[in-house]
């Protein structure tokens, strides 16, 4: 069925209006998923709710050429146990884990075969890893406590000699009940928690949260606030790319890279602190706008910093590209070819490095990006070198965008007053964070309370793809491959 058929039934998602999800039955739930996939659309997020949020239901957020769509499959409580809803894993392979998480958190079961727990770890309960058998195959278990300064998670490698035959991830160690915790926040205060879903993407999450809230409450924020939010988002992208480019050099045995890039990152963080009040802008984006005015000299200082970081990064890029050892480690390592990336639904910067050139800043055209028109690049080799190249491109483009925002920053108010309207409502916000598309779905209740909030991290899509990226690589290259994706545990584990 062509997608047009569904368009008639959907209400398009507008900037300043609440969203009414398209309510579908089990059959249409499947057909819609098939039609979106056939039209080249993608599944952005899949989440559930139980009776505590009204009634049990499963939601899907799709992005198509026509925009962002939300579908809701109502699961009547008595039928839940013996009548599972149709799974989507064959169409969107990453959906399997989301469905397992829905079962852990809300008890709703899909028709897909894998029902192992995902986010919920019962104490003492054994997890059934897939066993690889054959001559000389052995397993290497890693984590949940990792050797470096990173988040907790478990990796099970099946290897022959040095070669990885299979990697299986076991996540959920950072599961701290964020979705339930949202219910204890007033909707106006929820951006604080949203910012901490994944600390490295604080601006992306708090902005997506605020769009979800402001759209359903009919709040129009000042133009100046939109531009300042974009400034913070680009600074977040710059800081993370700098950090990862340094760490990637280090993982390739080139400590010089770490030293240089971590120095540049520190410069950006300090300039950010001076301008926005925090090194990591955790509480900068708030409902109605942004939290404070830039100090008088901040724009000049920030502009100088971005100019310098951009220029230094060009020099460092040249050094990375000319360094034989670094090139040898980056090239061909952890590759995901474009056709596999499309099938796996690889997203964000990793997707763009494998030929999946999508970016919400361009594709959803939300303000101020429809004016800023960021250049969205990509690569096709899909290896560590491609992800490094995409990071360099995006780093330089974000420096340019940041400087343009500073030069053309509109005047006016920073923030408008936000008052909770009486009726319950639902809204969705989606922002392209540095890692990929971040989506927040928010249902508010009368009195400005949160009825249900689901923050979605692009890591859900990319963690399973990482399992593919390491196949046939050697174990010592895993840290390098892993860092080139740098996925979030906390944003995924919730």
Partner 1 sequence: MLKTLRQIQRTGIVTEPVPAPDPTLRIRAVLEQRILGILGRALAIRMVDAGSCNGCELEVNALTNPIYNIEGLGVHFVASPRHADLLLVSGPVTTAMRDPLLRVYEATPDPKLVVAIGDCGRDGGVFGCGGPSLGAVANVIPVDVVVPGCPPSPNRLLAGILAALDASAALDVRQEGGGRAE
Does 48 help bind partner 1 (rule: CB under 8 A)?
no
Closer residue to partner 1 in complex, CB, 25/177: 177
- Are the CB atoms for 455 and 197 separated by under 8 Å? yes
Residue 330 tokens, joined: 């980056």
One character per residue 107-126, x = contact with partner 1 (rule: CB under 8 A):
-------------xx-x---
Residue 150 tokens, joined: 């990173």
Closer residue to partner 1 in complex, CB, 28/251: 251
Closer residue to partner 1 in complex, CB, 369/463: 463
- Are the CB atoms for 222 and 414 separated by under 8 Å? yes
Does 303 help bind partner 1 (rule: CB under 8 A)?
no
Shortest distance (Å) from residue 329 CB to partner 1: 16
Q: How far apart are CA 263 and CA 259, in angstroms?
A: 6
- Nearest CA-CA partner of 346 in 96, 176, 94: 94
Does 282 help bind partner 1 (rule: CB under 8 A)?
yes
One character per residue 186-225, x = contact with partner 1 (rule: CB under 8 A):
------xx--xxxxx-x-----------------------
Does 274 help bind partner 1 (rule: CB under 8 A)?
no
Shortest distance (Å) from residue 255 CB to partner 1: 11
CA angle 173, 336, 103 (to 5 degrees): 35
- Report CA torsion sign: 120, 123, 125, 130: positive
Figure out which of the listed residues 280, 284, 392, 485 binds partner 1, where binding follows CB under 8 A. 280
Figure out which of the listed residues 55, 263, 304, 365 binds partner 1, where binding follows CB under 8 A. 263
First to last CA, the chain: 36
Figure out which of the listed residues 71, 95, 248, 316 binds partner 1, where binding follows CB under 8 A. 316
Using alpha carbons, list the distances in angstroms from residue 427 to 202, 288, 403, 440.
19, 15, 32, 8
Does 419 help bind partner 1 (rule: CB under 8 A)?
no
Does 262 help bind partner 1 (rule: CB under 8 A)?
yes
The beta-strand segments (E) located in 131-236 are 137-142, 154-160, 163-170
Buried b (16+ CB within 10 A) or exposed e, 316-338: bbeebeebeebeebbeebbbbeb
Considering only residues 450 to 489 of the shown chain, the ones binding partner 1 according to CB under 8 A are: 488-489
Shortest distance (Å) from residue 198 CB to partner 1: 6
Shortest distance (Å) from residue 135 CB to partner 1: 31
Q: How far apart are CA 308 and CA 357, in angstroms?
A: 28
Q: What share of the chain is helix, strand, coil (3-state, %, to 5)?
A: 45, 15, 40
Residue in the block written with tokens 């491109």: 393
Name the segment binding partner 1 (CB under 8 A); options: 73-81, 215-223, 252-260, 361-369. 252-260
Figure out which of the listed residues 65, 126, 130, 147 binds partner 1, where binding follows CB under 8 A. 147
Does 178 help bind partner 1 (rule: CB under 8 A)?
yes
Shortest distance (Å) from residue 281 CB to partner 1: 11
- Nearest CA-CA partner of 456 in 433, 424, 485: 433
Does 356 help bind partner 1 (rule: CB under 8 A)?
no
- Three-class secondary structure of residue 247 per DSSP: helix
Does 243 help bind partner 1 (rule: CB under 8 A)?
yes
| Torsion angle of the four alpha carbons 200, 201, 202, 205, in this order, in degrees rounded to the nearest 10 | -160
- Are the CB atoms for 458 and 347 separated by under 8 Å? yes
Does 148 help bind partner 1 (rule: CB under 8 A)?
yes
Does 318 help bind partner 1 (rule: CB under 8 A)?
yes
Shortest distance (Å) from residue 116 CB to partner 1: 15
Name the pairing type of β-strands 154-160 and 67-74: unpaired
Residues that bind partner 1 (CB under 8 A): 120-121, 123, 144-145, 147-152, 172-178, 180-181, 184, 192-193, 196-200, 202, 243, 256, 259-260, 262-263, 265-266, 269, 279-280, 282, 315-316, 318-319, 322-323, 488-490
């Amino acid at each position: 069925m062509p997608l047009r058929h569904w368009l008639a039934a959907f209400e398009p998602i507008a900037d300043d209006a609440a969203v009414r999800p398209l309510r579908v039955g089990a059959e249409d739930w499947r057909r819609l998923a098939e039609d979106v996939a056939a039209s080249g659309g993608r599944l952005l997020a899949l989440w559930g709710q139980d009776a505590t949020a009204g009634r049990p239901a499963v939601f899907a957020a799709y992005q198509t050429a026509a925009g962002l769509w939300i579908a809701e499959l109502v699961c009547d409580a008595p039928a839940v146990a013996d009548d599972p809803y149709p799974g989507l894993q064959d169409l969107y392979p990453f959906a399997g884990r989301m469905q397992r998480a829905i079962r852990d958190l809300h008890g709703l079961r899909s028709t897909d075969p894998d029902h192992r727990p995902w986010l919920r770890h019962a104490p003492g309960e054994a997890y059934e890893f897939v066993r690889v058998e054959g001559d000389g195959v052995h397993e290497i278990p890693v984590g949940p406590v990792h050797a470096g300064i990173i988040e907790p998670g478990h990796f099970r490698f099946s290897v022959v000699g040095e070669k990885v035959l299979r990697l299986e991830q076991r996540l959920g160690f950072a599961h701290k009940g964020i979705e339930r915790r949202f219910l204890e926040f007033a909707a106006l205060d929820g951006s604080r928690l949203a910012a901490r879903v994944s600390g490295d993407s604080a601006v992306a999450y708090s902005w997506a949260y605020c769009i979800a809230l402001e759209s359903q409450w009919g709040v129009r924020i000042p133009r100046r606030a939109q531009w300042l939010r974009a400034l913070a988002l680009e600074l977040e992208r710059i800081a993370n790319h700098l950090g990862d480019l340094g760490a990637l050099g280090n993982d390739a045995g080139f400590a010089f890279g770490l030293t240089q890039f971590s120095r540049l990152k520190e410069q950006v963080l300090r300039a950010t602190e001076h301008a926005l009040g925090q090194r990591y802008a955790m509480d900068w984006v708030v409902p109605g706008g942004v939290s404070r005015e830039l100090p008088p000299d901040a724009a000049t200082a920030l502009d100088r910093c971005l100019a310098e970081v951009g220029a230094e990064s060009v020099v460092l890029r040249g050094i990375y590209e000319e360094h034989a050892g670094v090139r040898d480690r980056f090239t061909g390592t952890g590759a995901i070819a474009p056709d596999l990336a499309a099938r796996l639904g690889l997203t964000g910067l990793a997707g763009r490095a494998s030929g999946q050139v999508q970016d919400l800043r361009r594709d959803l055209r939300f303000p101020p990006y429809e004016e800023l028109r960021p250049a969205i690049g990509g690569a096709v080799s899909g290896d560590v070198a491609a992800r490094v190249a995409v990071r360099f491109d995006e780093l330089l483009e974000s420096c340019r965008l940041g400087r343009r925002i500073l030069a053309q920053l509109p005047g006016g108010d920073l923030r408008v007053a936000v008052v909770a309207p009486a009726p319950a409502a639902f809204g969705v916000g989606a922002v392209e964070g540095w890692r990929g598309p971040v989506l927040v779905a928010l249902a508010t209740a009368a009195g400005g309370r949160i009825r249900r909030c689901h923050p979605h991290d692009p890591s859900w899509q990319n963690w399973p793809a990482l399992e593919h990226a390491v196949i046939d690589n050697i174990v010592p290259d895993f840290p390098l491959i892993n860092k080139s994706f740098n996925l979030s545990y906390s944003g995924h584990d919730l």
